[in-house]
């Protein structure tokens, strides 16, 4: 488990998908904080996971895909996906996003 404080500049990004980079900033068993860098035209296929997911867009614009539609989110917007809710994304502009997962995702540790 990371120690307090954790600085984003001390963490190397991990390429999760083509054009999608993640820094897992800090976590315990109940909650996890991540920073994502998303390249324009990258995409995240529709998927789901046990963790609830809350995000805030620091920069850029993203089209989020759902089973029954989509929504556009841009700088200053926040969003939430419930546990097992199917979602994906198309990156419209280079973007930076902070996301919180609860419980922590073992695959992101």
pLDDT at 105 (0 to 100): 97
Examine residue 19 and state whether it is found in any structural domain, yes or no: yes
pLDDT category, 14, cuts 50, 70, 90? very high
Asked whether residue 9 is domain-assigned, the answer is no
Contacts of 69 (CB under 8 A, 6+ apart): none
Q: Examine residue 52 and state whether it is found in any structural domain, yes or no.
A: yes
Percent of all residues in the chain with a pLDDT value above 90, rounded to a whole number: 97
Q: Has residue 100 been placed in a domain? A: yes
Q: Is residue 5 part of a domain?
A: no
User: CA 82, CA 91: separation in Å to the nearest integer?
Assistant: 21
Average pLDDT of the segment spanning 44-71 = 98
What's the CATH code of the domain at 30?
Answer: 2.60.120.10
pLDDT tens across 39-49, in order? Answer: 999 999 999 99
Instruction: Name the residue range of residue 41's domain.
Output: 15-104
Structure tokens at 84: 């097992």
Give the chain's domain count.
Answer: 1
Please give the average per-residue pLDDT across 88-101, as a whole number: 98
Cα of 13 vs its chain's centroid, Å: 13
Nearest to 1 by CA among 35, 22, 26: 26
DSSP E strands in the chain: the ranges are: 14-17, 20-27, 32-38, 43-47, 52-59, 61-66, 69-74, 78-81, 87-91, 95-102
pLDDT(2) > 90: no
The pLDDT value recorded for residue 1 is 79
């Amino acid at each position: 488990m990371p120690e307090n404080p954790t600085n984003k500049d001390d963490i190397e990004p991990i390429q999760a998908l083509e054009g999608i980079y993640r820094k897992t900033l800090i976590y315990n068993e109940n909650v996890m904080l991540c920073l994502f860098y998303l390249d324009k035209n990258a995409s995240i296929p529709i998927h789901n996971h046990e963790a609830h997911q809350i995000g805030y867009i620091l920069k850029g614009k993203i089209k989020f895909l759902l089973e029954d539609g989509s929504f556009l989110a841009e700088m200053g917007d926040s969003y939430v996906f419930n546990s097992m809710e199917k979602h994906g994304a198309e990156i419209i502009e280079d973007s930076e996003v902070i996301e919180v997962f609860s419980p922590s995702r073992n695959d992101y540790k």
